[in-house]
Structure 1
Amino acid sequence: MFNNKEGESEPRIYGFIRSAAAALTHLVCIVFTVFVTVLSRPGSSLFSWHPFLMTLSFSLLMTEAILLFSPHGSPIKKLTHKTKGRVHWILQCLCVSCAVLGLAVIFYNKHLNSKPHFTSWHGFLGLPTVCVVVLQSGAAAPLIYHSLAKGWSLAKLKRYHAASGLITYLLGTASVLLGLCSAWFTGSVVGYSWYLSALCPVLTASVVMNQVTRAYMAKKRLQS
C-alpha cells in the first residue's frame, strides 16, 4: 500500500498500472502520428498536409500537452507546476497552429478542385473542433495572466479550463476517428490495420479522460 497525492491509500499495483498506461499512451500517440505521416507523405500533394497536420495537432501535441500534468506519466514531472504550465502553453500554441494550418489546407484544396466544403461528418465536426481549440487556448490566458480575470479565483479557472479542455480533446479525438473513415484513409488502410489505427485515439482518449477526471474528483474531495 502507498499514499497517493490525494492522501488516499490504494494498492501499489494501481500506480504501476497507471504508469504503464501513461507510458503506453506516449508510445501510441507517437507511433500513430508516424504511421499517418508515412501514409500521407506530407509534401507529395497539397492534401497530404491535412492529415499530417491534424494528426500532429490532436493526436500528438494535444495529448502530450495534457500528459505533462500526469502524476504517473509526465516526462517532466520533477519540474514545478508553473514550468509545466509554460510547456503546456507552448505545446498548445503549436497544436492550434497545426490545426488552423490543416483546416486552411483542406479548405484551399477543395477550392482548387471545385469540391463542396464540409459535406462529410468529418468536415462537419472538424470545423467547430478547430474553432473550439482556438477559443479554448485563448481562454487559457487568464491562467497565465491572472489579472485578466478579475473576480475569478485561480482554482475555479483551472477547474473550468480542465473541464473545457477535456471536451475539446474529445472533440478532437472524434474528428480524428471520423477522418479514419474517410475515403482517403479507408482506401489505404483496410482490415485489422484499420481497427488498430482506430484503437489508437480511443486508447489515448481513455487515458486522458481518466487523468483529468481523477484530478478533478480529487480536488472536489479535498474541498468537501
Structure 2
Amino acid sequence: MANLPESEPGIYGFGKVASGILTHVFCVVFTLLITVLAKPGSSLFSWHPFLMTLAFCLFMTEAVLLFSPHCSPVRKLSHKTKGRIHWILQCLCASCATLGLAAIIYNKHVSGKPHFTSWHGQVGLGTACVVGVQCLAALPLLNHSLAKGWSLARLKRYHAASGLVTYLLGSASLLLGTCSTWFIDAVGSQAWYLAALCPFFSTVVIMSQVSNTYMTKKRLVS
C-alpha cells in the first residue's frame, strides 16, 4: 500500500497517452467513415459532410492535440513551430468549413429548400464563422507586435478559452449531423452509437487537455 501513491501518476499518465492515441484513431476512422458514406464528388451534397468532417473532426482536433504533452505527433518541435502548424491546420479547418457550407447552401438553393432550419444547420453556420474569427484572432500570437498593450500570457489564456468554445461548437455540429436522416439511414441505428462516440470522446479528451493546461499555468503564476 505504501507504493500506491507513487504508482498513481504512472497509471494516470498511461491513461492520458491511451486516450490521446484513441482520439487520433477515432478521428481518422470517423473521417474515413464519412468519406466512404458520402462518396465526395458523387453529388453536390456529398461535399458537405465530407468537408465539414474534415474540418471539425480531423483538422481541428489534430490542431489542438499538437500541444498535448502526452500524444502530440510533433512533441519534440519548439512551441513556436507547433503554434505555426496549429494555425495552418486551423486555416485548413476554416477553408474546408467554408467550402462545405457553400456546398450545402448551393445544394439547398438548387433544390429549392429553406436554409438553416435545423439545429445542425444553425450550429454549423455559427461554428464556421467562429473558426474564421478564431484564426484571425490568433495572428497576434504569431506576431506579438500586433497586440500592443496585451501580454502574451493573457492572449494565450483568452485564445485557449475561446478555442475550447469553438471546439465544443464543432463537436456539437458533428453530433447533430449524426442525428440527420441521411446519416442514420446510411449507418443504421445500431452502428450510430459507435459513430457518435468519436466526437463525444474527442470532446472529453480535448476539454481535459485544455483545462489541465490552463489550471497548471494558473497554479504556476499564483
TM-score range, shorter chain: over 0.9
Superposed, 1:109-120 pairs within 5 Å as 109-120=107-118
**In structure 2, what is the Cα distance between the partners aligned to 1:71 and 1:105?**
37
> In structure 1, the residue corresponding to 2:83 is in which secondary structure?
helix
> Offset at 1:217?
0.3
Superposed, 1:67-86 pairs within 5 Å as 67-86=65-84
Superposed, 1:49-198 pairs within 5 Å as 49-198=47-196
Residue in 2 aligned with 1:5?
A: none
Could you state the TM-score of these two structures normalised by the residue count of structure 1? 0.95
Residue in 1 aligned with 2:14?
A: 16
**In structure 1, what is the Cα distance between the partners aligned to 2:139 and 2:81?**
15
**Deviation sequence 1:30-57 (CA, Å, 0-9, x none):** 0000000000000000000000000000
Structure 1, unpaired ranges of 5+ = 2-8
Residue in 2 aligned with 1:38?
A: 36
* Matched residue type, 1:119: T
- Number of residue-to-residue matches in the alignment: 217
**Deviation sequence 1:44-100 (CA, Å, 0-9, x none):** 000000000000000000000000000000000011101111111111111000000
Residue in 1 aligned with 2:45?
A: 47
Structure 2, unpaired ranges of 5+ = none
> Offset at 1:192?
2.2
1:27 aligns with 2:25: yes
Q: Which has a greater percent of helix?
A: 2
Identity %: 68
**Deviation sequence 1:110-150 (CA, Å, 0-9, x none):** 00111000011101211111111111111001000111110
> In structure 1, the residue corresponding to 2:183 is in which secondary structure?
helix
Equivalent position to 1:211, from 206, 209, 212: 209
* Matched residue type, 1:89: W
Aligned-pair RMSD on alpha carbons?
1.2
Could you state the TM-score of these two structures normalised by the residue count of structure 2? 0.96
**In structure 1, what is the Cα distance between the partners aligned to 2:92 and 2:220?**
34
Displaced runs of 4 or more, over 3 A? none
**In structure 2, what is the Cα distance between the partners aligned to 1:191 and 1:172?**
23
